[in-house]
Structure 1
Amino acid sequence: MSKARKTTGISILTAVAAGTLLLGCSTSVEVKKSTPPKLSAEKLSSTLSQKLADATGQPKPHVSCPEDLVGKVGTTSRCTLTADDGSTLGVTVKVTSVSGDQIHYDYKADDKASPASS
């Protein structure tokens, strides 16, 4: 992989992180009723990907969340954004409130990307 491609990937991740940090990064998603409500890992990944793309004006990044988000205030989860070059950026999600079936959460990307593994 060329140095230019790695630099481009890290630049994209940096732009995502900067864009995310500059915005009031919170969102809410309505989920099917359960006690407490849960947002599936797939839906959380998809929603974060769209929100990050909207925040940065870049194409939707690949975001992977390993577990469902439980709708309980204070619950946190860690997701991973992966660039085309394989470099990664962590994204922390924290539940801020729950209104019936709707989970409200904030998200924040890490300040620094991890380079792709060789």
Structure 2
Amino acid sequence: MVAYDVFVADCPARTTLDLVADTWSMVAVVALAAGPARYSQLHERIGGISKKMLTQTLRKLEANGLVERRALRAAPPGSEYRLTPLGRTLLEPVRTLSRWAEEHTDELLAARDRSAAAADG
């Protein structure tokens, strides 16, 4: 096993962190936790994401082995996305971070308000 060190400037693990720390990537992974979903289902489930951004996110996750795409021959034709075994290993840390964000957003917003008020002040 190769040892990576995110403190080294050209460490490939930084690219991995960038991939999994992206908001849309995290939300897409959580959205796929329940099982395979069509593109339209994902777009409907993930509020605020444009079709272009969803497409880019799914392609990026697929290219990195976290999501697999399967063409459907059903009517209407389309694509179905699912987490790969590697993608499923992300669920626990992503869910933990998502819960943390949901639980502490009020505190973060209050801190931003205090900081903005002090800067204006």
What interval of TM-score do these two structures reach, taking the shorter chain for normalisation?
Answer: under 0.3
Q: Which structure has the highest helix share of the two?
A: 2
Largest Rg, 1 or 2: 2
Q: Which structure has the highest strand share of the two?
A: 1
TM-score (norm 2): 0.27
Asked which structure has the greater RCO (Cα within 8 Å, sep 6+), the reply is 1
